[in-house]
Amino acid sequence: MDLKPMRCESCAIRNRAVCGVLSESEITKMNAISRPKFVAAGQTIMADHEPTEFFANIINGVIKLTKMLSDGRQQIVGLLFAPDFVGRAYSAESKYFAEAASDVELCTFPRYEFEKLMAAHPGLEHRMFEKTLDELDACREWMLLLGRKSAEEKVSSFLLMIAERTQNIGCAHSDEVNFVQFDLPLTRADIADYLGLTIETVSRQITRLKTRGIITMKGNREIAIPDVNLLRQVADQELF
């Protein structure tokens, strides 16, 4: 559903989003075409091979990107967090399914209007190029994880990614620098799909991390990491 228009100066992620490079006058133009939108968990935001009607900055929440194989199987190919950008500029159609993994707040921009702004403001186009390179680096890191890491390293790396993105967006955490707490944005089945593991293996590795005191859990989704550096060591196979 659409929300009431939000002024750019009150945006929590403005300085870290693609629009963070714009001047005040340019922000005014961006604000004129933007529209906040709320998407409930489980709802589709963009569909594979459908015309691209809008792009968006993520204000809050997590989006999962998926591709569907010809036999109906689904593969999760990425996760997006605030302040990530949703959609591919200069593309007539979406290249994946974008689904709200949690409740999501977006700041949306009509495709053609946003592309006009990019053409008129080189700083915005440069920021989009930087974001594209960041996504490329992340894909290469994920290729390494899927191809070379053990099950323990995969699950630890996944939790580390969530923890680091949680810290970046300023979600709930204590005054201790290394303590992070968050709700898992994916089910065990989705995590298994994302990591190329079975559900049983994911559950076994999470239980092992709990037993070792590297994570604590409340229910099935709420996770606390007492020491992010310790989790990082497990993810990088530096702890034996």
C-alpha 139/C-alpha 133 separation (Å) is: 10
Q: Name the residue ranges covered by the structural domains of the chain.
A: 8-139, 149-235
Q: Read off the tokens for 30.
A: 């961006």
More confident residue, 227 or 19: 227
**Could you report how far apart the first and last alpha carbons of the chain are, in Å?**
49
The percent of residues in the chain predicted with pLDDT above 90, rounded, is 49
Residue 197 pLDDT class (50, 70, 90 cuts) = very high
Residue 174 pLDDT class (50, 70, 90 cuts) = very low
Question: What pLDDT score was predicted for residue 4?
Answer: 53
Residue 81 pLDDT class (50, 70, 90 cuts) = very high
Would you tell me which CATH number, out of the four given (1.10.3720.10, 3.40.190.10, 1.10.10.10, 1.20.120.1200), belongs to the domain 149-235?
A: 1.10.10.10
C-alpha 176/C-alpha 166 separation (Å) is: 14
Question: What pLDDT score was predicted for residue 148?
Answer: 77
Averaged pLDDT for residues 207-230: 93
What are the φ/ψ torsions at residue 104 (nearest 5 degrees)? -125, 135
What are the φ/ψ torsions at residue 225 (nearest 5 degrees)? -115, 105
On average, the pLDDT of the chain sits at 85
Q: What dotted CATH number matches 8-139?
A: 2.60.120.10
Averaged pLDDT for residues 83-106: 91
